Amino acid sequence: MKRFLSIALALCIGLTMSLDANAKRFGGGKSVGAAPTHQTSQMAPSSPGMGSAAATAGAAGAAGAAAKAGGASRWLGPLAGIAAGGLLASMFMGGGFQGMQIFDILIMAVIAFVIFRFIAARRRKQQEHMAPAGAPMQREVYEQKPIFGGSAAPAAARPVINAPAWFNEERFIEAARSHFQSLQQHWDANEMDKIAEFVTPQMLEFLKRERADLGEGFQSTYIDNLTVQLDGVDDRADKTIATLTFNGVSKNSRFDQGEVFSESWNMERPQGENQPWLVAGIRQNG
């Protein structure tokens, strides 16, 4: 009985830790809301007629990277969790893994198989849920026509800054970096009331539904190598619009290899004094 409890404890801890691998960064890694009006330098095709080819190459590269990562690393979370669970069980139960028989190993294998099937089914369900929201925005990005007449914009095109006199680019970028990290922390803690201060009402409704799908519990997300790029500013009669592109690596733990991401935010600020900048849309760039 003592040995069985040790095995059960190890697998339960392993399941708990492996589920953390399903944690997602702020917004769920999807394209949603009002699409950014400025084109990022990463998305600009290198020459006319090459847009679809670049998109195909990018998709193939992403698929190849996912295949490489999926083959070896997708089980690292569950296996690491089970290993840690076994260590803790051994400590707490006083050496419950000593003298393990073949029947004990078979029990562990069966339970582990059930856990892995459960995790795989859950991930497939999440991927199917993500596809409808992400696909239309991706097509819109890759089918975008050149913004300067008949020729495509150069890959290193300078951002179009049509900003009001009060706009300070350096301070804006630093504030955006800080807000990106703060929003991720509020997202992990499921603090939607605090997120409401940074996003439009339309974005908030989507984010509430997306966060509810992840469960009410706390999740851990770490953002490394974060860079922020200002792609453009447009001062209009009713509001000022800016596009920011964030690049970095999203991790579920400090020791995780992580996932590289690039996404652009559509930021809006109503005209008037002391008005806040709000996230109105997110576009995934690849």
Classify residue 203: in a domain, yes or no.
Answer: yes
Pick the residue with more confidence: 281 or 256? 281
Model confidence at 119: pLDDT above 70: no
pLDDT band at 97 (very low <50, low <70, confident <90, very high): low
Which string of b and e fits 1-25 if b means at least 16 CB within 10 Å? eebeebbebbbbbbbebbbbbebbb
Handedness of CA 93, 97, 102, 106 (dihedral sign): positive
Q: How many domains does the chain have?
A: 1
- Residue 85 domain flag: no
Q: How confident is the model at residue 229 (pLDDT cuts 50, 70, 90)?
A: very high
pLDDT at 157: 62
Does 89 reside within a domain? no
Find all residues with CB under 8 Å of 113, minimum gap 6, and list them.
Answer: none
d(CA 144, CA 140): 6
122-169 tens-digit pLDDT: 555 554 544 444 433 333 333 444 434 444 444 556 788 999 999 999
pLDDT per residue over 14-31, tens digit each?
444 444 444 578 988 889
Does the pLDDT at position 110 exceed 60? yes
- Cβ neighbors of 238 (< 8 A, separation 6 or more) are 270, 271
pLDDT in tens, 149-159: 444 444 556 78
Is 4 inside a domain boundary?
no
Tokens of 274: 């002391």
Please report whether residue 216 resides in a domain: yes
What's the mean pLDDT when you consider all of the chain?
Answer: 72
Dihedrals phi, psi of 155, to nearest 5 degrees: -60, -30
pLDDT of residue 138: 38
Considering only CA atoms, which of 76, 8, 4 is closest in space to residue 255? Answer: 76
Is there a domain that residue 260 lies in?
A: yes
What is the side-by-side strand order in the sheet with 278-284? 32-33, 278-284, 259-270, 239-251, 222-235, 160-162
Residues 6+ apart with CB under 8 A from 94: 2
Cα 261 to Cα 127: distance, rounded to the nearest angstrom: 16
Domain hosting residue 235, numbered range: 22-29+159-284
Q: With respect to residue 143, please indicate whether it lies within any of the assigned structural domains.
A: no
pLDDT at 146: 43
pLDDT at 65 over 60: no
Query: What is the four-CA torsion angle of 29, 35, 41, 45, rounded to 10 degrees?
Result: 100
CATH of the domain at 195: 3.10.450
Q: What is the pTM of this model?
A: 0.58
Q: What is the mean pLDDT of residues 85-113?
A: 61
On whether residue 201 sits in a domain, the answer given is yes
Alpha carbons 221 and 255: distance in angstroms, whole number = 12
Long-range contacts of 258-264 (CB under 8 A, 24+ apart): 258/222, 258/224, 259/69, 261/25, 261/29, 262/40, 262/42, 262/286, 263/27, 263/29, 264/36, 264/38, 264/40, 264/231
